[in-house]
Amino acid sequence: MRWISILLGLSGTGAVGFFAVREIIMYPMYFFELFLGGLTRGSIYALIALGYTMVYGIIQLINFAHGEIYMIGAMTALIVATVLGMWGWNTAVIVILAFVFAIVYSCAYGFTVEKIAYKPLRNAPRLSALISAIGMSLFLQNYVMLAQTPDYLPFQSLIPDFQFWEPFAHIITSVEITIIITTVIVMILLGLLIKFTRIGKAMRATAQDKVMAALLGINVNNVISATFVVGSATAAIGGVLIACHVGQINFYIGFLAGLKAFIAAVLGGIGSIPGAVLGSLVLGISESFFTGYFWSEYEDVFAFAILVLILIFRPSGILGRHDTQKV
Amino acid sequence: MLKLSNIHTYYGNIHALKGIDIEVEEGEVISLIGANGAGKSTTLMTTSGIVPAKKGTIELNGEDITYLPPDDIVKKGICQVPEGRRIFPYLTVAENLDMGAFLRNDNDKIKQDLAYVYELFPILANRRNQAGGTLSGGEQQMLAISRALMSRPKILLLDEPSLGLAPIVVKQIFSIIEKINQESRTTIFIVEQNANLALKAAHRGYVMETGRITMTDTGENLLANEDVKKAYLGI
């Protein structure tokens, strides 16, 4: 029995491997396009996943309302861009203001959600805060649906097709390359923030031991707020970028994007910032290959299957730490 | 300098401190001894504002600090080395020390103080780029004390500095504690189960039983006291 299953496994892997190698050799450009598409997708996941992983690292809470913060970022950018567009403002100014407003609004929402829904439950059982998070997510979705519209809204791309990018545009569009570059810049800035600034050091200390951080004079509540604000800002950037890429948004986009980013964060090892980035890229690229080579309609099934597999075989993720429980 | 009057603290329904009075004068080394679960650590956590008192007052130089949040209490000059040391395991030794100076901006003096703690505990200088979690228990205790010193405290609260350490390391730690008290006139408040060591190092001591202070005297007198000998010194 055992050798039969090994044989089957090997021949299966061999067949898939043979198929993959043949495809890659015959259509290398297609492979490359899928890879870049996955990189773009992974970049967006990473921008959202950072918020999940940072919040989890500090208060051990899966902030299920985080996807909604991302959606609010995209919505705000849409409103700002539409209004300023009607007034006939310069495109560059519109882009900058759309990003600024999206970030400010998302940060304000992230900050407020923490104060209203999580802070009062700081010492309650973890499940209470988790349920509060799901409630907040539903509330924000319905609030945006009622305040705006349940329909899909067209989102005119804020990022123009760059002239100089023309020769490469058939491989990767201006929007996609902008997404990748912006993500890299955001990651570098975030890394510097965490490593060298005062608030970054306070975040790392608080994530490792809240009581000790307080005993050294760190205001833990402020650090938690700052974490929500930073996570919301990166999610807002992701929201605006993806809206430019997809070209339409509605109140519901945060739900699936939030779940995917959550999967990416778990895949990388929740609580770990490099893990979130790595997990996002792995998820984005493998999703892209899966839809490109197999069945595109099973894209979400594939992502959730990955979640189930990680939770069974490696619950701490790729870069997760096996923290021993303190007694 | 530090004065706890009639302090009552609860953990949920558990009445952990039942009206405590402790007074610490400037420049003193005070020891609080007692059995497991007597409320010694709670006394420190209440002083630091982590588990605020339900009743009573804590004064620092006449100023009421009972209900200040923990970070403001550190700003007032009270710094605690908690039980179990609580080193940040994924920060390096140098970063751990840096966190001790979190509230300070006087970079020149921070450098001086860093040199001072490296002189007190040369092993920390050797291990400065090593993650805190990889240090031995004794080294972690040295790091924890050094980290607290980096905040330039007026009062240093030490919770069980001898816990889980080899006797020779315990001796070293206590001699450094006395050195800190003498050299920088830092007031020190030690909570210990190792009554013999703690009372020898202290000017004055308090004995605690199930949430109440039952005795207070000079360190020498307590060491000579028959009840203390029987209950805590095993003689």
Task: Determine, for residues A202 and B102 on separate chains, whether the beta-carbon distance falls below 8 Å.
Answer: yes
Least confident of A6-10, A205-209, B30-34, B126-130: A6-10
Q: Do B50 and A215 touch (CB under 8 A)?
A: yes
Q: Is the pLDDT of residue A112 over 80?
A: yes
Residue B55 backbone class (left: φ over 0; alpha: ψ -120 to 50; beta: rest): beta
Cβ contact A198–B80 (<8 Å): no
To the nearest whole angstrom, how far is the Cα of A308 from the nearest Cα of chain B? 29
For chain A, how long is the longest CA-to-CA vector? 73
Q: Which residues make Cβ contacts (< 8 Å) with residue B98, sequence separation at least 6?
A: A201, B150
- Is the model's pLDDT at A62 over the cut of 60? yes
pLDDT band at A322 (very low <50, low <70, confident <90, very high): low
pLDDT, tens digit, 9 for 90 and up, residues A5-53 = 778 777 877 877 777 777 777 787 888 888 888 999 999 999 999 999 9
Residue A6 has a pLDDT of 76
Q: What is the pLDDT of residue A325?
A: 43
Task: Kindly report, residue by residue over B59-76, the tens digit of the pLDDT.
Answer: 999 999 999 999 999 999
Backbone angles phi, psi at B205, to 5 degrees: -135, 160
Q: Which residues of A touch B90 (CB under 8 A)?
A: 204, 208
Q: Please report which confidence band the pLDDT of residue A170 belongs to, taking 50, 70 and 90 as the band edges.
A: confident
Q: What's the pLDDT score for residue A327?
A: 37
Q: Cβ separation of A204 and B91 shorter than 8 Å?
A: yes
Partners of A202 on chain B (C-beta within 8 Å) are 102
pLDDT digits (tens, 9 = 90+) for B35-46: 888 899 999 999
Alpha helix (H) ranges present in chain B? 40-47, 70-75, 93-100, 107-120, 122-126, 137-149, 167-184, 195-201, 219-224, 226-228
Residues near A94 by beta carbon (within 8 Å), at least 6 away in sequence? A80, A81, A84, A85, A158
Q: Is there a contact between B44 and B87 (Cβ–Cβ < 8 Å)?
A: no
Whether pLDDT at A171 is above 90: no
Residues A216, B147: C-beta atoms closer than 8 Å:
yes
Q: Which of A47, A37, A73, A34 is nearest to A264 (CA)?
A: A47
Query: Percentage of chain B surpassing pLDDT 70?
Result: 100
* pLDDT mean across residues, chain B: 92
Q: For residue B25, is pLDDT > 50?
A: yes
The whole-number average pLDDT for the span B204-227 is 90
pLDDT top residue among B144 and B234? B144
Using pLDDT thresholds of 50, 70 and 90, give the confidence band for residue B19.
Answer: very high
Inter-chain contact B69–A219, Cβ cutoff 8 Å?
Answer: yes
Per DSSP, the three-state class of A154 is: strand
Question: What percentage of chain A carries pLDDT values higher than 70?
Answer: 98
User: What CA–CA distance (Å, rounded) separates A51 from A116?
Assistant: 18
Is the pLDDT reported for residue A291 higher than 60?
Answer: yes
**B89/A208 CB distance under 8 A:** yes
Q: Give the largest CA-CA distance in chain B.
A: 51
**Domain range summary for chain A, segments of one domain joined by +:** 48-313
The answer, yes or no, to whether residue A119 has pLDDT greater than 80, is yes
Closest chain A C-alpha to B161 CA, distance in angstroms: 16
Residues 211-230 of A with CB under 8 A from B: 211-220
- Across the interface, whether the CB atoms of A215 and B99 are under 8 A apart is answered no
- CA dihedral defined by B201, B203, B209, B215, rounded to 10 degrees? 140
At B20 the pLDDT is 92
Q: Do B99 and A211 touch (CB under 8 A)?
A: no
Q: Find all residues with CB under 8 Å of B141, minimum gap 6, and list them.
A: B85, B161, B165, B169, B173
Share above pLDDT 90 across residues of chain A, in percent, rounded to a whole number = 45
Nearest to A209 among B49, B86, B151 (CB): B86
CB contact under 8 A, A205 and B91: yes
Is the distance from CB of B204 to CB of B28 less than 8 angstroms? Answer: yes
pLDDT-derived band at B235 (thresholds 50, 70, 90) equals low
Q: Is residue A326's pLDDT more than 50?
A: no
Of A201, A209, A218, the CB nearest to B71: A218
Which stretches of chain B sit within 8 Å of chain A by CB?
Answer: 48-50, 69-71, 74-75, 79-80, 82, 86, 88-91, 95, 98-100, 102-103, 147, 151
Residue A324 has pLDDT above 70, yes or no: no
pTM: 0.87
- Out of A202, A209, A217, the one facing B151 most closely (by C-beta) is A217
Q: What pLDDT is attached to residue B174? A: 92
- Residues B111-137 have pLDDT tens digits of 999 999 999 999 999 999 999 999 999
In angstroms, what is the C-alpha Rg of chain A? Answer: 21
